[in-house]
Amino acid sequence: MPFDRTVQLAGARARQLQALPRYSEVLRLLDQGMKPREIGAALLPPVTRQRASALIQQAKRAEALGLFDDEIGDENMSLDMTTVNSGGVTSAEGFSAGAIFAGIKTAGADKRDIGLLLSDRPCTVAGTFSQNSVLSPSVTLSKAVVDGGGEVRGVIANSGVANCAVGDQGLIDAREASALAAEKLGVGSDEVLIASTGVIGVELPMALMREHIPQIELGDNDGEEFAAAIMTTDTHRKAIAVRIEVGGSTVTIGGCAKGSGMIHPNMATMLAFLTTDAAVEKSFLQKTLSHAVTLSFNQIDIDGDQSTNDTVLLMANGAAGNSLLTGDSDDSATFATAVDYVTRWLAREMARDGEGAQTLIEVTVDGAHSHEDARKAARSVAASLLVRTAVYGKDPNWGRILMAVGKSQIPLTESQIEVFVNDIQIVFEGKAISYSIPSVVSALGEDEVRLRVGLNVGDGFGEAWGCDLTEEYVVFNSAYTT
């Protein structure tokens, strides 16, 4: 099966595949001649006639799509993946990292503000970067290296200063910081990428960097130190690693990320670094990362603002000893799905840690005409200030969800829309149905709120993540630099 198709099924239809046993039961009862009301009563737990009708439609769609086919199900649900305990960017073979507090960052949960990441051998690298028209020279310098196709060995990242909107000095300083890191790491300056995050309009404090970069001690268990060094307003480190089998070799994929504000689709004020010991061909590595970013980091919305410094890097050093992975390899989908898992986990943690947030909002849209339509509608709901304030206030105002879906301007049929809050259905056929208001209010008070919208016009599926909008966010950002 082609790579793109396999990944779509493995990711976008995972929820549909998980629902197959219930759909099978619905179809069995339908074959017996039961009506929706009778089917609803026969299901465990019992559901309403409206919900039974919706399940019948979904089951028929799943049958038409061939999702009951054993070959497809096995292929997409049998990924043998384990999570590494306390994993991160140094979990993959051959990677080490370190960090130090140089005095650049004056606030935050962890004062480390310069981090170094090193591979003991050359890496193939892929990257995605901010699409803001105003870019940090740290972004333009790293993007040039990635686009140039050369191999890299290391990364220097700093927090507290964005190195943006500072004129020509920004590029001069970015080059010097990269050279300082290269000297410390014992590699060429053209083998080091740079990423910066923090306050815009402030130059990199080169005197502090000259003093402290040589003092950084690297270790293969110091991924947490590196994850701390990239934090700004984050309240906790965000890091993960997983292991999979690729062609008889054990491959590790690790990653860390930062970001809790200025987050809007097409990434945000975010940095993310992924490492793997797999041997991966350059174009396939880039395709894999771009696909993963589309489904994860580009589906987060905290405050609707897009940063000048967004950087996502994926470095592959081949230390696992597997045969070179390409788009045509038997294990290409396994690798891509694992990368997708890592970026999705990091994206959720970023949304959970939104500035001032109390609640993670996960929006899923299914039954759209296309996956892109579904992702667009999900982003619209996650970005809606009215939806986010409703979640904060525990107000079951479902009309705001329909409004947000509608303003995405995707093709839909209003009379076929369903809405669920944490599995409690509140809208059927575009209209409110009877539901327990206290139950929905209680659901909106949970740490995670799941808003699901069923469009019932196709098989497109998409997810997006955001958080509630609180007074703390307004207070925090009204005095960010003072």
Residues assigned a catalytic role: 269
| 433 SS3 class | coil
Which DSSP helix (H) or strand (E) runs through 121? strand 114-129
Q: How far is CA 207 from the centre of its chain?
A: 35
Dist CA 88 CA 224 (whole Å): 7
Residues 6+ apart with CB under 8 A from 251: 243, 244, 245, 276, 277, 278, 320, 322, 335, 338
CB 347 within 8 Å of CB 310: no
Beta bridge partners of 346: none
- What does the CA dihedral 216, 219, 224, 227 come to, rounded to 10 degrees? 50
Nearest Cα to 206, choosing from 230, 237, 171, 239?
A: 171
What region, left, alpha or beta, does residue 112 occupy, with left being phi > 0 and alpha being psi -120 to 50 degrees? beta
Handedness of CA 12, 14, 19, 23 (dihedral sign): positive
Q: Angle at CA 338, nearest 5°, toward 335 and 341?
A: 155
* Tally of residues, the chain: 482
Contact 67, 17 (CB under 8 A): yes
Please state, as a whole number, how many other Cβ atoms lie within 10 Å of the Cβ of residue 445.
12
Q: What's the CA angle centered on 27, arms 22 and 30, to 5 degrees?
A: 130
Are residues 300 and 349 in contact, defined by beta-carbon separation less than 8 angstroms? no
In sequence order, the β-bridge partners of residue 100 are 114
- Name the strands in the sheet holding 448-454, side by side, starting at the edge strand that comes first in the sequence: 431-432, 424-428, 418-421, 448-454, 360-368, 460-467
Alpha carbon 299 to chain centroid, angstroms: 7
DSSP class of residue 298 equals G
CA distance 377 to 393: 23
DSSP 303: S
If you search the block for the tokens 């061909």, which residue do you land on? 281
Distance (Å, whole) CA 356 – CA 48: 38
